[in-house]
Structures are given as structure tokens and as C-alpha cells.
Structure 1
Amino acid sequence: MGGKDSISNLPDEVLGKILSLLPTKLVVSTWVLSKRWRNVFPLVDTFDHRPTTTPGGPSFVSFISKHIFLKPSTHIKKFSLTCQPGEHSNCLIQTVLERGCLELHVQCNLTHSLGIIVFERNTLVKLTLSDGLHLCNHKQNFDVRVDLDRAPYFPSLRSLSLGAVSVGADLFKLLIWHCPVLEELFIRDDDADLSTWQGFVSSESLKRLVVSVVNLPNDDVWLFAPALVFLDYSSCVPCYFGEVVLDSLVEARLDVRFWESPTDDDDDDDDDDDVCGYFDGDVTNLVAGISNITTLHLSPNSLEVFHWCCKTMPVFNNLLRLSIESDKEKGWQIVPLLLNKSPNLQTLVIKGLVHKVTNGCGDVCPCNPSKRRKKRKRMMKEEEKEVEEDEDEDDTSCCLWTCQVKFLEISGYRGTRREHKQMRHFLGKLKYLETVNVGLHQEVKSLSYLRVTSDLKKLRSVSPTSQIHFL
């Protein structure tokens, strides 16, 4: 005789919760086990509809519609739908919403039109639309103007995600305006031909905004979110940032980039004013709008854009943590100004120390443009070292001398000559340093580990209490 069936002895409500955690295709297969399991099936509240058929042959939609959706007592908590051509997706979504669905995910394998009218009645808390959906304002005619009086209302929606969805400007604004308690908004475009992001957000309840797009359909970007706490923005720099109201912002991660990177034919004769005038775009309002934050993360692209396209740099009185990412093709021209404008900065995090050498790097690094570098190569190593140490002692005008940074974190350290000079520069100027964490690059093998760490430990620090730790 077989062993005892412990699972079948569990209460129906418990079995329903267990089945809700399994793939829906597997859940459907339990229908053939016994009549008992047929009674359990309606208690499942999570479904994932993908193109498939049950072992008996009927399509998934037909099976679910017959045994679940036609029963008014069925409650659906979470439903994921992959639309297919020829399927009645709109009717299926409406039926799901009538069952009190709280979380809905809709995506497509091929381009598919979805009328926004299907959301006319809903209890949704989380909505995700992605991958090929064409969101229109009418079931059949895409050209019908949006009727704001009849537009769907999302009274409970707190999280909205639009990923690679085609949506017009009016409909995009309508979605945001009709979500009175929205807290999270995620926008993603993977293709330059799509137009999900319309360069506009206006919400008094929004707390988290993540934008990652390839293109900008509009010349201007407007952000009105006075309750926003977290901003993650990745896009090309627009011609102009309009109103930017982010009064409650605590943390910002920015990757604002040019359509084409600025290039200097002659690194020795950089003329910031001439090069700056060549680029369209202005991020002055964006920078001013984030001036109250405590944590700021900047990509190499953002450092470049801030330098060329920010007319005035505000004072970041509340900034405690600044994180920048370096790139050998991007300069550090804006970093000295950022440090000077951050009087209360406590933590400086840098991913990679190698950056493009220009005349605008300022005194935050010991770099020299090519002519000076070639000239110094003619000197003896001992003389070069002596000159550099003298400069370290005499240059009290360096922005690092007044910098309040106590915690310095470097990642991706390889131990090259340039990186070593940069570390010596930091340790010799940051007089309030207490802790230096150095994360070694994975290419630093065990044989060179001792050499790299030993060289760093030998560096002289202007702060007598600073300690170096290796990660």
C-alpha cells in the first residue's frame, strides 16, 4: 500500500495558498487528480497566463474561463497575462478586474493593442504594462480623443510600471493624473522607436520614480513631485528642463547623457566656453531641483553633462554622500565644483579612478594635460617625486583641503601608476579622513595583491587617524 497522503489532508484554504505559489500550468494539471482537488482549484488567487494548452487539449483561456472566471465567488489577487493575436485579451482583463484583482501584469510577444477602457472598474494596487503593448484610448479607434470625463480612474493604484509601451502624450498624462495615491512609477524604453516616456510627471503622492529610456520624444522635461523621496533617471539630456519640484527628495541616481559625447581634438588647448556653446541642453533646473538631497549618485555621463550644460551650481547643504563613477573617456571637470558646493559632505565613493585628463580637472586630482605630462617624463624619477611632494605641501588652495569627507571608498582599484598617484593626492589633502576602504579589481591576482596593498599602506596621510581597509 502507498504512503499516507499528508498534502490532501490539509485544509482547502491552505492548499489554495500553496497552489497560488506554483506555476499556473502545473496548478491546472491538479484538476485531474480527484474531485477534491477540483474544489480546491477555485481557491487559487494567483494566475500566470502564457500561450499553452492543458493536457486535455483546450486552451488555457477556455479552461480558466469555464472553471474559474464564470464563478462569481472566485477572488483573484494577482494575474499575469501574455497577450496573443486573436485572443480576447480585453475581455479577459475585464473579467479579472471584476474579481477584485489587486496586481495585474500584461505583456505581449507581438505588438498588441489594449484599450484603456478595460480599466474602467478596478481595485488594482499594482499595474505593469510591458513589451509591445500599444495603449490606446478606445477599444477600436486609436484616433478618438481622450474623454477625460470617462477616463478610467485608479483609486487604489500605488505602483505603475510602463516598460516598452507605446502611449501618446495625452494618454500618458491621463494615467498619472488619475492615480491619486500613486507612490511608485517605473518607465522603461528599450527601443528608440517607442515613446513611453513623454518627459512629464505631475503627482503629489509619488515617492519613487525610475526612468530608463533611450530617446526623448519632447524637447522639454517637467517634474512636479513634491513628495518624491527617490529618483533614478537615465536618459539623454533634453534641450531644457522646465519646472523641477522635488522638495522631499532624499536620494538621486542620475545618468544623463549626450546624444553624442563631446570630443576635444587637442587636449592641451581645451576651451570650455567654446565647447560648451556647441551643445544643446540645459540641466540647470534639474540640478537646482535636487539640491536638498542627502545622497547623490552620478554616472560618467552625468559628470560630463553637468560640466557642459549646467549654468549655475547650487550649494548642496544637506549632501552627506556623493558617489561618482569614473571613465577613461570622461573628464572630472565638474568634481572640484561639486566638492566646493557640498560643505557638509561626509562620504565620497568613487568607482574607478582613471578618467580623461583635461585642463579642467582642477585640483581634485594630480593629472596633467599631455604637454605637461611629456615634459615631466624627461625628469628623473627622484626629481619628479620631490617636486610632487613639495606641491602637496605648498598647495593649500586645493578644494580637498576644506573638504569635510571622513569616509572615502574606492572600488575597482588595480594599482596602476595613475591610480597610485591619485590615492596619494587624496590621502595628502583630505585632512578629515578617518576611514579609507579600497575595493581591489578582480583582475588583481594573489601574486600582486601584496604589492598593491603594501604600496598603499606606505602612502603618507595628512590625517593622523585615517586607516586603510581592503575589500
Structure 2
Amino acid sequence: MDRISNLPDEIVCHILSFVSTNEAALTSVLSKRWRNLFAFTSNLCFEDKAFATDEDPGTDVTRSLIEFVNRVLAVSGDFPIKKFTLKWRIKSAHVSDWICNVLTHVIGHGVEDLVLHYIYSDYLYDQLLLSFFSCKTIVHLKLGFASHMDILPKNASLPALKTLLLDCIRFFPHHCGHEFEPFLSACPVLEEFTIICYGEWEWWCRVSSMTLQRMTIINFARFSRPRYCSITFDTPSLAYLKYSGFVHIEHPVVSLQSLVVAKLDISLSSREHGERDPTNLIEGLRNIQVLELSSITTSDIFYSVREAIPVFEKLSRLSIATELGSCWKLVPLLLQNSPNLETLVIKGPLHYCDKYGQQLESVCECLSGYSFPWSCHVKVLEITEYRGTKGELEQMKHILEKLPCLELVKVRAWAVAKFLFTKDLLMLPRACKIQLKYCQPSEN
């Protein structure tokens, strides 16, 4: 007899909760004792892809999954369910009522973690409003289906919800996103919020939460016509912000006094009309400790409103993305405004040639006559893409000579001719330690 078979049912069920429910169901063939154990795990996970084959049409997949889910729920009875996951990628309108019945059953058992991904849209959403927007037990909620959010029910309340992820959820344009604020208001203890958008969405909303600590906003509609009107960040407790999308016309209120980490990838759309003003957003970052500018366009936008860049008294780590031929004009400005900066990360190549490979000045013109302030406290310099050309070596030498407090240089260099790289870098006139990590040219 193997050791697992001798374990109590509670421990076996706990072990089975770490795999999907259909995988756990395979253990039912081991013995009569194991026949229904998989249905008594606190984590139930159902995915239609687990039932699909190349020869199996969608209707058979739908029927198989429905039968399996119904069987599991019938066997589990009143057993408490802590996490429930349902991922349905097949369009099938007639199963909407069934899904809502399943969720009503699951939520009635005190589910704390709910993950729902469904490709069908509006009708299902109307039914879901009645199912879980007044659930008192949900702590973590992930919704992913191509749906619009229109009017929230008056009794909407998620008093225990701490983590919310909306993937491909949109608000009706004629409401200008105004349902966004009452949606967050229905979550009085929300701590982490993520929204991922595809396509058009009329952003004219107020992100307001006194408890929110982490927020991620990502919009992939780079080639559509989103109407970015106005967005307000009334989030005084927010410590982490990842924000990717187009610049809005305005940010009327930006309350980010507790922000520690900001990762920004913002850009301007040539299809948009009117002025775009990120001034308030940039000024609201003054208390951050870690700043990551994830694209060249983000740096260009910062530089375009450079008069608004505040003094970052608490900033200790700065990361800036670069491209071939990109100018470092923002770097000196940020160093001047960051008196306590200790780590500078250059994510990309050094400035040594344009995108066609033509050699430019060895040292970027914005740095050639510039001496980093002696008050600059940068101790660690990280270069993520070093190829070892003569121009790069000159740029590196110039930077090392201008950073008075530098103690450590971390260089991620291409593996080609790594012996020469090592020799050249170690001969640079600096007393600091240099660490090298080699990678293949295809690696990021």
C-alpha cells in the first residue's frame, strides 16, 4: 500500500486541490474510496479546453463540460468551496442560465475566490448582476468576458472584496464610464485593482478608493480610436501603479501621496484631437521611490512638460527604456531632480548608432558637455543591453567618469566576443566593481 492511500481524506482532498478538477477526477479510477474524493476539494477548476479535441465539435464539448460540472456539484453537496474557476471559450447562448445557476450554487457555499472567463457578453452579464454583485464572501474576483457594464444594481455590494481583475470589460460609451466610480464604491475594502482593456473605451471616469493599494491599468487599443477624455486618481493609499495607455486630455485630480512604485508606458495618438495634458499626473508622482519609464514615448512626454517634473526627494531607483539612436536628454534632468537616487537602470542599448546602424557621436550630445552633479548619489548602474562597440565603450567611459559615488556597475552584455567585452570594460578608469552577465543576441 502506498503512503498516499493511507492519508486521511482531508489531506488527500487538499493535495488534489492543487490541480484542475478534471485532472483530479482521473484519480477516481484508483479505488472505490477515491471515486468521489476529487469533488470534496476546496478548489474547483473547470475549463472547456480540457474536454476539447481536434475531432470534438463545440456542442459535444459544451455537453461534456455541463455534465461533468453538474456531477461534481451534485456529489459535493454542501461541502464549502473556497475557490471556483470557470473558463468558457465557446460561444453558446443557451448555457448562460446554466452558468448563472452554477454560480448561484457556488456563491451560496461561501466562495472566497471566483474566476470567470466567458466569451459571451451582455445577457450573461445581466444575469450575473443578480448572482454575485451582492455576495458577502468574495475576497478575490477575476472577470474576463467581452461584456459591457451598464447600470449597476442598487444593492451592489462586495463588502469583503480585496482583489479585483477586469479583463476585456467595458462600460457603455453613453455613460462615459460614470458607472466606474459606483462600481469601486461597492467595494469598500478593495486593495488591488487591475483592468485590461481592448478596443474602444470612453475613459471619462473617477478612480476613487480610500483603501486601494495596488492598481494596474493596461489598454491595448493602440490602433483604434479610444476617446481618452479625463481620468481622476483619488487614491491616497495607493502604493503601486502600473499605467499603460494614451495620455488623457486632463487629470483633474491626482491624489497619489502614498505612491511608492510607478511603472508608466504612456503615448500620444495621432488620431486624437485636442491637447493632452499629463502635467497633474507627473506632478502627483513626487513621493515615489521607484520610477520606471517603460518606453521612449514616455520619456519624450516627460521631457515635453519638463517644467512640471517635481523634485523626487524619495526616489531611489530610476529605470529608463532606450532604443538605438534615442537621446538621453531626459536623464540629466531626472538626475538633477532626484537628489537621493542610488540606482540607475538603462533598459536597452547605449546611444551609439541610429536604427540603420550608422555610427553617431560616441557620446550622446546631451551628455558630452554635461557633468553629473557632484551631489548625485547614484551607487549602482545597470546596463541591460551592451554590445561592446567602440562607440558604446566611449559612452560607458564617459558615464563612469561622471558619477562620483558609483560603487557597482551591472552589465548584461551579448555573448558574442565576450572576452573582448570583459577586457574592455575592466580596463575602464573606475575604481568600482563591474559585474557581467552574458546573453544571446535574441534574448531581451
Normalization by structure 1: what TM-score?
A: 0.77
Alpha carbons of structure 1 residues 405 and 41: separation in structure 2 relative to 1, 3 Å = closer
Query: Per-residue deviation at 1:260?
Result: 4.4
- Using the alignment, how far apart are the partners of 1:25 and 1:458 within structure 2? 60
- Using the alignment, how far apart are the partners of 1:16 and 1:196 within structure 2? 46
- 1:296 is aligned to 2:291: yes
Which one of 204, 207, 210 corresponds to residue 201 of structure 1? 207
- 1:94 is aligned to 2:104: yes
Alpha carbons of structure 1 residues 431 and 454: separation in structure 2 relative to 1, 3 Å = same
- Using the alignment, how far apart are the partners of 1:421 and 1:279 within structure 2? 42
Which one of 50, 56, 78 corresponds to residue 73 of structure 1? 78
| Equivalent position amino acid for 1:297 in 2 | E
| Equivalent position amino acid for 1:129 in 2 | L
Alpha carbons of structure 1 residues 197 and 162: separation in structure 2 relative to 1, 3 Å = farther
- Using the alignment, how far apart are the partners of 1:98 and 1:301 within structure 2? 49
Alpha carbons of structure 1 residues 91 and 337: separation in structure 2 relative to 1, 3 Å = same
Alpha carbons of structure 1 residues 33 and 107: separation in structure 2 relative to 1, 3 Å = same
- Using the alignment, how far apart are the partners of 1:186 and 1:69 within structure 2? 34
Structure 1 residues 160-179: aligned runs within 5 Å = 160-168=164-172, 169-179=177-187
| Equivalent position amino acid for 2:331 in 1 | V
Alpha carbons of structure 1 residues 329 and 460: separation in structure 2 relative to 1, 3 Å = closer
Aligned residue number for residue 284 of structure 1: 279
Q: Describe the SS at the equivalent of 2:308.
A: coil
| Equivalent position amino acid for 1:157 in 2 | L
Deviates more, 1:70-79 or 1:345-354: 70-79
Query: Per-residue deviation at 1:153?
Result: 0.9
| Equivalent position amino acid for 2:84 in 1 | F
Q: Describe the SS at the equivalent of 1:75.
A: coil
- Using the alignment, how far apart are the partners of 2:39 and 2:418 within structure 1? 61
Aligned residue number for residue 268 of structure 1: none
Query: Per-residue deviation at 1:184?
Result: 0.8
- 1:366 is aligned to 2:380: no
Query: Per-residue deviation at 1:459?
Result: 2.7
Alpha carbons of structure 1 residues 235 and 9: separation in structure 2 relative to 1, 3 Å = same
- 1:9 is aligned to 2:9: no
Alpha carbons of structure 1 residues 199 and 317: separation in structure 2 relative to 1, 3 Å = same
Aligned residue number for residue 432 of structure 1: 405
- 1:27 is aligned to 2:21: no
- 1:114 is aligned to 2:120: no
- 1:59 is aligned to 2:64: yes
Alpha carbons of structure 1 residues 117 and 329: separation in structure 2 relative to 1, 3 Å = farther
Aligned residue number for residue 46 of structure 2: 49
Query: Per-residue deviation at 1:128?
Result: 0.5
Aligned residue number for residue 332 of structure 2: 336
Deviations 1:109-132 (A, max 9, x none): 4546323222123411111011x3
Number of positions where the alignment pairs a residue of Structure 1 with one of Structure 2: 402
Normalization by structure 2: what TM-score?
A: 0.81
Alpha carbons of structure 1 residues 367 and 187: separation in structure 2 relative to 1, 3 Å = same
Aligned residue number for residue 55 of structure 2: none
RMSD: 3.1
- Using the alignment, how far apart are the partners of 1:39 and 1:330 within structure 2? 62
Q: Describe the SS at the equivalent of 2:79.
A: coil
| Equivalent position amino acid for 1:457 in 2 | L
Q: Is the 8 A contact 1:332 1:356 kept in 2?
A: no
- Using the alignment, how far apart are the partners of 2:194 and 2:321 within structure 1? 23
Return 5+ residue gaps in structure 2 as ranges: 53-59, 355-361, 438-444
Aligned residue number for residue 351 of structure 1: 347
Which one of 200, 209, 213 corresponds to residue 219 of structure 2? 213
Q: Describe the SS at the equivalent of 2:141.
A: strand
Query: Per-residue deviation at 1:224?
Result: 1.3
Aligned residue number for residue 398 of structure 1: 371
Query: % of aligned pairs identical?
Result: 33
Alpha carbons of structure 1 residues 26 and 178: separation in structure 2 relative to 1, 3 Å = same
- Using the alignment, how far apart are the partners of 1:280 and 1:286 within structure 2? 15
Q: Is the 8 A contact 2:317 2:341 kept in 1?
A: yes
Deviations 1:257-300 (A, max 9, x none): 12249xxxxxxxxxxxxxxxx98311111111111111111122
Aligned residue number for residue 424 of structure 2: 455
Query: Per-residue deviation at 1:355?
Result: 4.4
Q: Describe the SS at the equivalent of 2:169.
A: coil
Alpha carbons of structure 1 residues 167 and 355: separation in structure 2 relative to 1, 3 Å = farther
Q: Is the 8 A contact 1:188 1:196 kept in 2?
A: no
Aligned residue number for residue 142 of structure 2: 128
Q: Describe the SS at the equivalent of 2:251.
A: strand
Alpha carbons of structure 1 residues 123 and 196: separation in structure 2 relative to 1, 3 Å = farther
Q: Is the 8 A contact 2:180 2:207 kept in 1?
A: no
Query: Per-residue deviation at 1:400?
Result: 4.3
Q: Describe the SS at the equivalent of 1:307.
A: helix
Q: Describe the SS at the equivalent of 1:455.
A: helix
| Equivalent position amino acid for 1:128 in 2 | K
Which one of 257, 262, 265 corresponds to residue 247 of structure 1? 257
- Using the alignment, how far apart are the partners of 1:435 and 1:7 within structure 2? 51
Which one of 29, 34, 39 corresponds to residue 37 of structure 1? 34
Q: Describe the SS at the equivalent of 1:73.
A: coil
Alpha carbons of structure 1 residues 110 and 330: separation in structure 2 relative to 1, 3 Å = farther
- Using the alignment, how far apart are the partners of 2:365 and 2:274 within structure 1? 25
Q: Is the 8 A contact 1:172 1:198 kept in 2?
A: no
Query: Per-residue deviation at 1:173?
Result: 2.2
Q: Describe the SS at the equivalent of 1:94.
A: helix
Q: Is the 8 A contact 2:347 2:383 kept in 1?
A: yes
Deviations 1:389-424 (A, max 9, x none): xx98xx6x6344442212211121111233222112
Aligned residue number for residue 359 of structure 2: none
Q: Is the 8 A contact 1:303 1:332 kept in 2?
A: no
Query: Per-residue deviation at 1:436?
Result: 1.7
Structure 1 residues 149-164: aligned runs within 5 Å = 149-150=154-155, 152-164=156-168
Deviations 1:325-361 (A, max 9, x none): 1112643322221111111111111123434999xxx
Return 5+ residue gaps in structure 1 as ranges: 138-144, 262-277, 359-364, 370-390
Alpha carbons of structure 1 residues 97 and 59: separation in structure 2 relative to 1, 3 Å = same
- Using the alignment, how far apart are the partners of 1:323 and 1:199 within structure 2? 29
